[in-house]
Amino acid sequence: MKELTANITIPGRVFVHCLMGVSRSATLVLAFLMIAEGLSLQEAVAAVRPHRDVCPNQGFLMQLCSLHMGLERERFNLQPF
């Protein structure tokens, strides 16, 4: 995440990849957008889908949902259940 954040400030494009580019790398980019840009999971997916076919596997999707809930709790200063 630190390398992605550092490189994103350099003009141009950042290439994030894994073997197929639809699950692991997509999950990293979605998480980055959620954390750095304050997007919800749905907003992050909507931002990426026009550019790449993203389909995080079920385990990664569950982790992204958990991240989303944690970020929402922080945003609204809510206590966990």
In a domain, 16, yes or no: no
- Token output for 53: 């076919």
Asked whether residue 4 is domain-assigned, the answer is no
Which one is catalytic: 1, 8, 18, 36? 18
* Residues spanned by the domain of 44: 21-76
Length in residues, the chain: 81
Burial of 21 (0-12, 13-18, 19+ CB in 10 A): middle
The per-residue pLDDT for 69 is 94
What does the pLDDT average to over 64-76? 93
In a domain, 7, yes or no: no
In whole angstroms, give the CA distance from residue 67 to residue 32. 11
> Is 40 among the domain residues?
yes
Q: Is residue 3 domain-resident?
A: no
Q: What is the pLDDT of residues 9-65, one digit of tens each?
A: 666 676 677 777 678 989 999 999 999 889 999 999 999 999 888 889 999 999 999
Instruction: Work out how many domains the chain is built from and give that number.
Output: 1
User: Is 65 one of the catalytic residues?
Assistant: no
CATH assignment at residue 55: 3.90.190.10
pLDDT at 2 over 70: no
**Is 5 inside a domain boundary?**
no
Task: Grade residue 79 by pLDDT with cuts at 50, 70 and 90.
Answer: low
Coil vs helix vs strand at 10: coil
